[in-house]
A and B are shown apart, each in its own frame.
Chain A
Amino acid sequence: MDLIYTREQEDFRMEVRQWMQENVPAEALSSFDASREGFEAHRSWEARLNAGRWGMVTWPEAYGGRGLDLIRWLIFEEEYIRAGAPLRVNQNGIFLLGPTLMEYGSDAQKSRFLPTMASGEEIWAQAWSEPQAGSDLAAVRSTARRDGDDYLLKGHKIWSSRAVYADWAFGLFRTEPDEKRHKGLSLIFFPLDAPGVTVQPIAQIDGETGFAEIMLDDVRVPAFNRLGEEGQGWSICMTTAGFERGLMLRSPARYQMAAARLVALWKRLGDDAPQSAQEGVLQAVMDADAYALAIYRTASKLIAGGHIGAEASTNKIFWSTMDMRLHRTALDLLGPLGTLTEAAPAAEDGGAWLDGYYFALSGPIYAGSNEIQKNIIAERVLGLPRA
Chain B
Amino acid sequence: MDFRFTEEQEMIAETLESLLGDICSTAHLRKMIDAGQTYEASRWQALAELGLCGVLVPEDLGGLGLSEIEFVRIAEICGAFLLPEPLVESAGVALPLLAQICGTDTALKDIVAQLAVGEGHAVLFHPAMPLAAHADTARFVLRSDGKRIKYGRPGEMGVQAQLAADPLTPLFSIAVGEGCSDSLPSEQIEKAVATARDRGALFAAARMTGIAQSALDQAVAYAREREQFGKPIGSYQAVKHRLAEVQVAIEFVRPVLYAAAALVARGDDLARAHVAHAWLRAGETVRLATERAVHVHGAMGYSWEADIHLFLKRALVLSRSWGSRDLHLEHVAMRTNRYGALDAERLFGDPR
| Selected contact of B1 from candidates A2, A81, A256, A294, CB within 8 Å | A2
0/1 interface trace, chain A 345-387, chain B, CB 8 Å (1 if under): 0000000000000000000000000010111011101111111
Interface residues of B in 243-268 (CB under 8 A from A): 243-245, 247-248, 251-256, 258-259, 262-263
State whether B280 touches A6 (Cβ < 8 A). no
0/1 interface trace, chain A 322-349, chain B, CB 8 Å (1 if under): 0000000000000000000000000000
**B168 → chain A, closest Cβ, in Å?**
27
**A250 → chain B, closest Cβ, in Å?**
14
**A295 → chain B, closest Cβ, in Å?**
8
Enumerate chain A residues within 8 angstroms of B254, measured Cβ to Cβ. 294, 297
A133 beta carbon closer than 8 Å to chain B: no
Interface-forming stretch among A149-157, A172-180, A189-197, A281-289? A281-289
Instruction: Across the interface, name the chain B residue whose C-beta is closest to A296.
Output: B3
**B216 → chain A, closest Cβ, in Å?**
8
Enumerate chain A residues within 8 angstroms of B344, measured Cβ to Cβ. 75, 78, 253, 256, 292
Bound Cα distance from A375 to B243, whole angstroms: 10
Enumerate chain B residues within 8 angstroms of A375, measured Cβ to Cβ. 237, 240-241, 244
State whether B235 touches A384 (Cβ < 8 A). yes
Interface size of B by Cβ–Cβ distance < 8 Å? 54
B18 beta carbon closer than 8 Å to chain A: no
A239 beta carbon closer than 8 Å to chain B: no
Interface-forming stretch among B34-42, B96-104, B105-113, B328-336? B328-336
Instruction: Across the interface, name the chain B residue whose C-beta is closest to A10.
Output: B351
User: A2-B2, A71-B1, A300-B4 are known contacts. Are A384 and B281 too (CB-CB below 8 A)?
Assistant: no
| Selected contact of B224 from candidates A10, A299, A385, CB within 8 Å | A385
A113 beta carbon closer than 8 Å to chain B: no
Interface residues of A in 24-67 (CB under 8 A from B): none
Bound Cα distance from A304 to B342, whole angstroms: 26
User: A4-B1, A297-B3 are known contacts. Are A290 and B252 too (CB-CB below 8 A)?
Assistant: yes
Instruction: Across the interface, name the chain B residue whose C-beta is closest to A5.
Output: B1
| Selected contact of A378 from candidates B2, B244, B274, B329, CB within 8 Å | B244
State whether A371 touches B241 (Cβ < 8 A). yes
Instruction: Across the interface, name the chain A residue whose C-beta is closest to B259.
Output: A293
Enumerate chain A residues within 8 angstroms of B302, measured Cβ to Cβ. none
State whether A378 touches B241 (Cβ < 8 A). yes
Enumerate chain A residues within 8 angstroms of B231, measured Cβ to Cβ. 385
B232 beta carbon closer than 8 Å to chain A: yes
B69 beta carbon closer than 8 Å to chain A: yes
**A257 → chain B, closest Cβ, in Å?**
5
State whether B3 touches A5 (Cβ < 8 A). no
State whether A384 touches B243 (Cβ < 8 A). yes
| Selected contact of B280 from candidates A260, A286, A374, A378, CB within 8 Å | A286
State whether B240 touches A384 (Cβ < 8 A). yes
State whether A384 touches B252 (Cβ < 8 A). no
Bound Cα distance from A78 to B340, whole angstroms: 13
User: A256-B342, A294-B252, A382-B220 are known contacts. Are A286 and B332 too (CB-CB below 8 A)?
Assistant: yes
Bound Cα distance from A298 to B167, whole angstroms: 38
State whether A259 touches B341 (Cβ < 8 A). yes
Enumerate chain A residues within 8 angstroms of B341, measured Cβ to Cβ. 256-257, 259-260, 262-263, 284-285, 288-289
Enumerate chain A residues within 8 angstroms of B223, measured Cβ to Cβ. 384
Bound Cα distance from A296 to B255, whole angstroms: 9
Enumerate chain B residues within 8 angstroms of A297, measured Cβ to Cβ. 3-4, 254-255, 258
Bound Cα distance from A297 to B223, whole angstroms: 30
**B70 → chain A, closest Cβ, in Å?**
10
State whether A293 touches B236 (Cβ < 8 A). no
State whether B351 touches A4 (Cβ < 8 A). yes
Interface-forming stretch among A138-146, A212-220, A228-236, A311-319? A311-319
0/1 interface trace, chain B 142-174, chain A, CB 8 Å (1 if under): 000000000000000000000000000000000
State whether A377 touches B247 (Cβ < 8 A). yes
| Selected contact of A1 from candidates B258, B342, B351, CB within 8 Å | B258
State whether A260 touches B342 (Cβ < 8 A). yes
State whether A382 touches B342 (Cβ < 8 A). no
B228 beta carbon closer than 8 Å to chain A: no
Bound Cα distance from A163 to B130, whole angstroms: 62
Enumerate chain A residues within 8 angstroms of B258, measured Cβ to Cβ. 1, 297
Enumerate chain A residues within 8 angstroms of B69, measured Cβ to Cβ. 1
Instruction: Across the interface, name the chain B residue whose C-beta is closest to A315.
Output: B251
User: A3-B1, A3-B3 are known contacts. Are A289 and B347 too (CB-CB below 8 A)?
Assistant: yes
**B260 → chain A, closest Cβ, in Å?**
9
State whether A1 touches B252 (Cβ < 8 A). no
Enumerate chain A residues within 8 angstroms of B239, measured Cβ to Cβ. 384
State whether B342 touches A253 (Cβ < 8 A). yes
**A308 → chain B, closest Cβ, in Å?**
13
Bound Cα distance from A85 to B252, whole angstroms: 28
| Selected contact of B340 from candidates A1, A75, A263, CB within 8 Å | A263
0/1 interface trace, chain A 1-23, chain B, CB 8 Å (1 if under): 11111100110000000000000
Bound Cα distance from A296 to B347, whole angstroms: 11
**A311 → chain B, closest Cβ, in Å?**
7
B86 beta carbon closer than 8 Å to chain A: no
**B265 → chain A, closest Cβ, in Å?**
9
State whether B1 touches A296 (Cβ < 8 A). yes
Instruction: Across the interface, name the chain A residue whose C-beta is closest to B6.
Output: A1
Bound Cα distance from A318 to B281, whole angstroms: 13
0/1 interface trace, chain B 215-227, chain A, CB 8 Å (1 if under): 0100010011000
Enumerate chain A residues within 8 angstroms of B349, measured Cβ to Cβ. 3-4
Bound Cα distance from A81 to B343, whole angstroms: 12
Instruction: Across the interface, name the chain A residue whose C-beta is closest to B352.
Output: A4
Enumerate chain A residues within 8 angstroms of B342, measured Cβ to Cβ. 78, 81-82, 253, 256-257, 259-260
29 A/B residue pairs, CB under 8 Å, sorted by A: A1-B6, A1-B9, A1-B69, A3-B259, A4-B349, A4-B351, A6-B1, A9-B1, A256-B347, A257-B341, A259-B341, A286-B280, A286-B281, A296-B1, A297-B3, A301-B3, A314-B248, A318-B252, A374-B237, A374-B245, A377-B244, A378-B243, A381-B244, A382-B243, A382-B244, A382-B247, A384-B220, A384-B224, A384-B239
Given A2-B1, A256-B344, A384-B232, 13 extra CB contacts under 8 A:
A1-B5, A1-B258, A10-B351, A75-B344, A260-B342, A263-B336, A263-B340, A314-B252, A317-B244, A318-B252, A371-B237, A374-B245, A375-B240
